[in-house]
Amino acid sequence: MKLKRIAAALFALTMFATSAVPAFADGRWQCPGCTCNQYKYFVDIDLVNWSGTTPIGTLGPYDDYTSAKAAADNYLYYYPEYKADIYDAQYCS
């Protein structure tokens, strides 16, 4: 009986945590009741070397292209072996 209670509590906690923190892999949040008709800029960072291209991560969101470009340039200044692709995408908040 005690094991059933522990299992039920863990299941409830897992379900709550899953519903409380839904997110896309690139850092854009998706939430019920949010406004999703806005677009923001993101920067994809990739490592480029002799073995090909490896995705590293995403910077953002940024309100305008200039801010995204500045972030990409700053990142590439410190890591010249990487490349950055700037794109706009739907953002929910």
pLDDT in tens, 19-54: 444 444 444 556 667 777 788 999 999 999 888 899
pLDDT over 80 at 17, yes or no? no
What are the structural domain ranges in the chain?
Answer: 22-91
Contact 18, 81 (CB under 8 A): no
Pairwise pLDDT comparison (2 vs 47), residue with the higher score: 47
- Main-chain phi, psi angles of 36, to 5 degrees: -115, 10
* pLDDT at residue 63 in the model: 93
Residue 93 and residue 5: Cα distance in Å, rounded?
Answer: 36
Q: Which two tokens stand for residue 12?
A: 């409830």
pTM recorded for the entire structure: 0.62
Residue 66 and residue 60: Cα distance in Å, rounded?
Answer: 12
